[in-house]
Amino acid sequence: MGQRAIRELPPDERPRERLALRGAGGLQSAELIALLWGSGPRGASAVELAETALGRHDGLTGLARATELELQAIPGVGRAKAAQLAAAFELGRRLMADWPAGRWTIRAPNDVADRLVLQMGRLEHEELRVVLLNTKNVVLRVVTVYQGNVSSSLVRVGELYRDAVRLNATGAILVHNHPSGDPTPSADDLHLTAEALAAGRLLDIDLLDHLVIGHDAYVSLRDRGVAFDRAGRG
């Protein structure tokens, strides 16, 4: 017996037909993955293979964090299927990054974290990004200013605000990740925050927070008691 294709399923169980009937939002995660894969291994459908993959990684969030090698370790998932799934998850992350700025308003640290933890939490290198805001706390742009070792001794504070000046931004939030997965701020993180606060005051740009991101969590330095310029605007 060869691979069991989706077309061999009863019509009312085929993800493509269910997609046409219910729309993508009406399908379960396993069915959406099955549409990517098209077929399963010997004796199993693509839906069954997707259910196995989801079960092994504790659901969609865990599956999204899996590496291609970890995906290939699932029986029935070879290089091609692993690559397809990794590409789909990456497109989802990029869509979040490219979300229209006018629809992204920051009112609390989790408004930033909800989007950037998924993008940055599993990076194998450090990144420092700056979220630039207008007077109504609407995001103008998210700029990546450093990749590699985000250290106060290496970061040029002026570069943090270069795009803010160009865009006439009035507020900024620093966001960087710890590849170790532990979001506990270091002494270096606190030093960088202090330098960025001082530079922001000179440029009349409010530094509103500094978020440190781990694998599944984040820390807001404002929430930790660091004194930022204002409690918020809006």
Question: Where does a domain end: 75, 97, 119?
Answer: 97
Q: How many helices (H) and strands (E) does the chain have?
A: 10, 7
For residue 226, being part of any structural domain is answered with no
**Residue 13 pLDDT:** 56
CATH value at residue 66: 1.10.150
Q: Which of 92-101, 112-121, 140-149 has the lowest mean pLDDT?
A: 92-101
Is there a single domain that holds both residue 37 and residue 62?
A: yes
What one-character-per-residue DSSP string does 4-73 give?
Answer: EEGGGS-GGG-HHHHHHHH-GGGS-HHHHHHHHH-EEEET--HHHHHHHHHHHTTSHHHHHH--HHHHHT
CA distances from 78 to 70, 91, 97, 158, 221 (A): 10, 20, 29, 47, 43
Is there a single domain that holds both residue 89 and residue 105?
A: no
For residue 76, being part of any structural domain is answered with yes
Q: Residue 139 is part of which domain span?
A: 101-220
**Residue 176 pLDDT:** 93
**Residue 96 pLDDT:** 66
Is there a single domain that holds both residue 108 and residue 83?
A: no
Is there a single domain that holds both residue 92 and residue 128?
A: no
Is there a single domain that holds both residue 108 and residue 183?
A: yes
Question: pLDDT tens-digit profile of 61-75?
Answer: 788 888 889 999 999
Q: Compute the distance between CA of residue 141 and CA of residue 132 in angstroms, rounded to an integer.
A: 5
pTM above 0.75, yes or no: no
Number of domains in the chain: 2
Is there a single domain that holds both residue 115 and residue 86?
A: no
Q: Is the pLDDT of residue 27 over 60?
A: yes
For residue 230, being part of any structural domain is answered with no
